[in-house]
Amino acid sequence: MAAAGGGDAEAEEASAFGHAPVPADVCLPYGPHPDQVVDLYAPRGGTGPAPLVVLLHGGAWRAPYDRHHVSPLAARLAGYGFAVASVEYRRGPGPTDRGSRTDGAPGEDISVTDDLPAPGESGTGNGNGSTGAAQAGSPPGAVPRAGRWPETFDDVALAVDRLPALIGRVQAGEGRSAVRGIPQGDPAWARVDPACTVLTGHSAGGHLALWAAARHRLPVGSRWHCAGPPGTGGCSPPPFRGVVALAPIADFTTARRLGVCSDAAVQLLGGPEEWPARLPYADNAALLPTGVRTTVVQGATDADVPPDVARAFVAAAERAGQPVRLVLLDGVGHFPLIDPAAPAVAVVADEIARLAGREPGRDSCPGPGPGRDRDSEPGRHSGREPAHQPGSEPGH
């Protein structure tokens, strides 16, 4: 999915996608659909409370790209001492309906469909599965359609709301799951602190991470609105320490003007005819201010999601009175931000640790502070050198 930009961009993409998938320690369903699963990676290193990083993969909300391509990043972040929850979600429609998941928690209602329709919708989905390289009926070689309205947003909201309970089950050794590594009930899981959660995501996943932290800004009548504290809005997400968005498609108007990812944002909202009505419910720039500490990490030479998209979002945040930290990485394109072999990932880990309140050598996660320390300060790094010195990685 690399845009035209020369051999460096192609080499960066090849490196990021060249790693073998890293199996999660535990895989759990958060809903009935086969794509409603979360991969959990236990923290490695450190001894104290481990912040929880919720990771949302990119791929322009299109079906061919799933969570497995960021599994090496998830494992790398776990190596820094974070617990990682890598969330799968329904993306652009595939050729067949793959049915419903049957391994949800006994006695638990895991449906997200209710009587309240999504904005501009009847409240029913299209019923298609989300695998396959192209939409049914598309000519061979066609770019798959991006996203599923409202299912993509349903899934992200549901996953975030249910993560604390899922972590609790793993810590207690309860529930059904696919265990591949550190089993449920292991002492490593006891370190995971859902009260210290940082959202992160790449590209389209960066948009979803920002959106998940902004649900309290949605109209009260929206099916995804969350008023905040548990029990007050029909949802109880963990208290987010912040969002680290990696090359996010964060300003839909700018993304549409630039044709980012073959107009993926337009497709996500259902096409040009649905754009005006749905934009206020989905565009990160329209849901400001959130009051959640936010950092955007952006490659300065990114041709897939150009820096102008990030700059437009940061400018919108400033107009709304919310400080957003923009970290530009010189000489870096779109994919090194998720490539564990690239120095840029050390910058990503540093920004996550900063928002989590972690400092090198300190195993703690303090309560929420005012969140205005360095949030509005721009940062600039050479993407060829790590931000950390050896031995200063969080959790080590």
Look up residue 6 and give its two tokens: 């020369």
Question: Sign of the C-alpha dihedral, residues 282, 285, 72, 49?
Answer: negative
| Of residues 120 and 305, more confidently modeled | 305
Owner of token pair 């009935």: 32
Look up residue 230 and give its two tokens: 């548990």
For the stretch 148-171, pLDDT in tens is: 999 999 999 999 999 999 999 899
Q: Worst-scoring range by mean pLDDT, 36-45, 124-133, 294-303?
A: 124-133
Which among 26, 107, 9, 7 is positioned nearest to 303, based on CA atoms?
A: 9
For the stretch 254-305, pLDDT in tens is: 999 999 999 999 999 999 999 999 999 999 999 999 999 999 999 999 999 9
Q: Rounded to whole angstroms, how far apart are CA atoms 163 and 166?
A: 5
Distances (CA, A) of 99 to 65, 107, 339: 20, 20, 33
* pLDDT category of residue 213 using cuts at 50, 70 and 90: very high
Look up residue 128 and give its two tokens: 């298609």
Give residue 378's pLDDT: 57
Give residue 248's pLDDT: 98
Give residue 351's pLDDT: 97
Q: Worst-scoring range by mean pLDDT, 116-120, 217-221, 243-247, 320-324?
A: 116-120
Give residue 179's pLDDT: 59
Report, as an integer, the average pLDDT of 363-374. 43
Instruction: Give one word for 285, left, alpha or beta, with left for phi > 0 and alpha for psi -120 to 50.
Output: alpha
Is there a contact between 365 and 395 (Cβ–Cβ < 8 Å)? no
Give residue 143's pLDDT: 76
Q: Rounded to whole angstroms, how far apart are CA atoms 375 and 395?
A: 22
Look up residue 95 and give its two tokens: 């050729």
Q: Is cis: bond before 390, omega within 30 of 0?
A: no
* CATH class for the domain made up of 7-96+111-116+131-382: alpha beta
For the stretch 41-87, pLDDT in tens is: 999 977 789 999 999 999 999 999 999 999 999 999 999 999 999 99
Give residue 141's pLDDT: 56
Residues 6+ apart with CB under 8 A from 380: 327, 328, 329, 330
| pLDDT score of 114 more than 50 | no
| pLDDT score of 198 more than 80 | yes
The secondary structure of the chain in percent helix, strand, coil, rounded to multiples of 5, reads 30, 15, 55
Is there a contact between 128 and 153 (Cβ–Cβ < 8 Å)? no
Is there a contact between 30 and 158 (Cβ–Cβ < 8 Å)? yes
Which among 39, 103, 47, 42 is positioned nearest to 71, based on CA atoms?
A: 39
* C-alpha dihedral (88, 94, 98, 100), degrees to nearest 10: 50
The rounded Cα 361 to chain-centroid distance in angstroms is: 27
Mean pLDDT rounded to a whole number for the chain: 79
Which among 241, 248, 250, 247 is positioned nearest to 198, based on CA atoms?
A: 241
Exposed / middle / buried, residue 232 (Cβ in 10 Å: 0-12, 13-18, 19+): exposed
Sequence spans of domains, the chain = 7-96+111-116+131-382
Give residue 22's pLDDT: 96
- pTM, entire model: 0.81
Question: Sign of the C-alpha dihedral, residues 71, 74, 78, 80?
Answer: positive
